[in-house]
Structures are given as structure tokens and as C-alpha cells.
């Protein structure tokens, strides 16, 4: 009986000792579990809160899709837009450097960068079949007059256009892929358009020529401009003296006689633009041509 009692006491002592060891070991286990939980939390936080490489790529692609691209450049201006701007530039030059009676300030034009720009625009914007007859006439009349001024400036100072060797035959200007001279423009282009009044619009830089208008020719105003230029030339007694039975005319009417007979006789043409009623039997003679420079 005594031995049994001793065994029970030993058992209780051993059990208490094991329980104490278990309790003492639990803080480390608890700490390990807490550490494990913290690690898991950190991983989850990284997955939720921090962008991964994949999410950054997706975001970049999305932002790229949202970028608004600039609109494409405007197409080249069509003739109806370009030519008024071109004529306005020439109009400004003429207004500044040409008097009402056609006297030209060549030195002033020579110092103008606008004139060089205008010539360059002409050379790179030549008419094609889409242009109306009026647009083509205005373009080539302005071009002829501007290139005549350019020719004078290339040789300035001079007292006459005839001081220049072969002034109308020098191919100094490249229109597109063609080099042209003043004769090409006058005889191969303008005269073939069956408009005799061009002879009072284009200018040879001389006193006996029609005056250089201090305005550009335009398609919209062409009919009025050509009519006024013709009337002004015929009424200038230094160039033409007209009466019912006697005509002292500019040599322009001699040099280009056939151009004024396309719709009747020369007298028929003149009677459209003079206040004098000229007889069909009027005598004709031609004035001496003054080639002095129109400055």
C-alpha cells in the first residue's frame, strides 16, 4: 500500500514537470507562428498594393492607347486659295514701287525680299488644265510683267531694255521642268489664248509700252482690268492719236496686226474701246517707239 502511494506521487511529479516544459516552450512557437503570419501578410500586401512588372506594362500600353495624336497636316492649297495670296503679294509690291502713271522704282524693288519670294512662288506653282482661262491669263500676265522687272534688275542700272543682249530670248526662269524666256510666255502662251487685249497688259519696261499697272491682274477682275488697260492705252496721245479719219498708232498694232483681226478688222477692234467713231477708210500711220526705261 505504501509502495502504491509512492508510485502515484512520482507520476504526479513527472506530469507536472512535462506540463511546465510545454508551457515554457509555447512562446517560441507562438512567435514562430506570428512571424509566419507576418510574412504571409507581407506577401499579400505586395500582391495587392505594389505594381508588378506585368501591371506596369499593361498600364503603359493603356496610357499609350489614350494618347491623342496630332491631326495630319493640311493638304496643299488649291489654286483658288493659292493664287489670291500670290496676287496679293505682287499687288503689294506694285502698290509700293509703281506710280499711278506707271513709273517704276527699280531700286526699291531690288531691295525688296518680297519680290524674290513672289518670283519663287510663280516658278513653283504653274497653271495646269484645271485652271480656268481667266486664272491662266492673270497668272501669265503677272508673270510676264514680274519677269520683265526681274530682267531689268539683273542688269540694272541701264537706260533701256535694249541695252541687254537678246532681252526677250534669255531663258532665265525655270517653270516646273521648263526653262522659259519672255518670248515663250508672250508668243507661245499668251497670244495663243486669243485675247488681244493682253498687249495692253504686258509691259516691256519702256516709255512707249503700256504702263505697268500698280495692281496685280486677278481672275475675278480680269475683264474690267483688260478693258480699262486697253482704253487707257488708246487714249494716251503719246502712244496713239485717234480721230475719225486719221490714226497715228503705236507700233504694237503693226507688230501684232493679226491679233486684232480675229473678230473683224482693226478698225472694228478700236471702235470698241474709243469714244471716237473711226471711219473704215481712216488713214493709218505708226509712231516712233520710245525704248527709254520706264523709271
pLDDT above 90 as % of the chain? 70
Give the pLDDT confidence score for residue 68 in this predicted structure. Answer: 59
pLDDT over 70 for what percent of the chain?
A: 72
Q: What confidence tens digit (pLDDT) does each residue in 142-155 have?
A: 999 999 999 999 99
pLDDT in tens, 220-265: 999 999 999 999 999 999 999 999 999 999 999 999 999 999 999 9
pLDDT reported for residue 100: 96
Q: How many residues does the chain have?
A: 295
The string of DSSP codes covering 246-279 is: EEEE-THHHHTGGGGGTTS-HHHHHHTT-SS---
Contact 200, 230 (CB under 8 A): yes
131 in Cβ contact with 139 (< 8 Å): yes
**Is the pLDDT assigned to residue 121 strictly greater than 60?**
yes
* Residue 104 CA from chain centroid, whole number: 27
Question: What is the average pLDDT value for the chain, to the nearest integer?
Answer: 83
pLDDT for the residue numbered 55: 52
Amino acid at each position: 500500500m505504501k509502495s502504491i502511494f509512492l508510485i502515484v506521487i512520482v507520476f504526479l511529479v513527472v506530469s507536472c514537470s512535462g506540463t511546465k516544459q510545454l508551457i515554457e516552450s509555447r512562446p517560441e512557437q507562438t512567435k514562430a507562428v506570428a512571424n509566419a503570419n507576418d510574412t504571409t501578410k507581407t506577401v499579400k500586401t505586395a500582391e495587392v498594393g505594389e505594381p508588378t512588372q506585368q501591371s506596369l506594362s499593361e498600364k503603359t500600353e493603356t496610357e499609350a492607347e489614350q494618347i491623342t495624336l496630332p491631326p495630319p497636316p493640311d493638304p496643299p492649297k488649291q489654286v483658288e486659295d493659292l493664287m489670291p495670296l500670290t496676287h496679293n503679294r505682287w499687288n503689294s509690291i506694285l502698290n509700293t514701287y509703281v506710280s499711278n502713271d506707271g513709273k517704276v522704282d527699280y531700286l526699291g524693288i531690288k531691295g525688296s525680299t518680297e519680290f524674290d519670294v513672289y518670283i519663287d512662288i510663280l516658278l513653283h506653282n504653274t497653271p495646269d488644265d484645271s485652271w480656268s482661262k481667266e486664272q491662266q491669263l492673270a497668272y501669265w500676265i503677272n508673270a510676264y510683267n514680274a519677269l520683265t522687272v526681274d530682267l531689268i534688275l539683273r542688269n540694272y542700272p541701264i537706260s533701256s531694255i535694249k541695252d541687254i543682249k537678246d532681252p526677250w530670248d534669255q531663258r532665265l526662269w525655270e517653270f516646273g521642268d521648263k526653262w522659259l524666256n519672255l518670248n515663250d510666255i508672250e508668243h507661245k502662251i499668251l497670244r495663243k489664248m486669243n485675247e488681244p487685249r493682253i498687249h495692253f497688259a504686258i509691259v516691256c519696261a519702256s516709255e512707249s509700252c503700256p504702263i505697268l499697272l500698280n495692281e496685280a491682274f486677278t481672275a475675278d477682275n480680269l475683264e474690267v482690268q483688260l478693258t480699262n488697260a486697253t482704253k487707257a492705252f488708246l487714249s494716251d496721245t503719246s502712244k496713239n492719236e485717234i480721230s475719225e479719219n486719221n490714226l497715228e498708232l503705236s507700233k504694237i498694232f503693226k507688230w501684232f496686226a493679226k491679233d486684232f483681226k480675229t473678230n473683224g478688222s482693226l478698225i472694228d477692234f478700236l471702235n470698241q474701246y474709243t469714244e471716237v467713231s473711226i471711219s473704215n477708210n481712216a488713214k493709218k500711220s505708226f509712231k516712233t517707239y520710245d525704248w527709254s526705261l520706264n523709271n
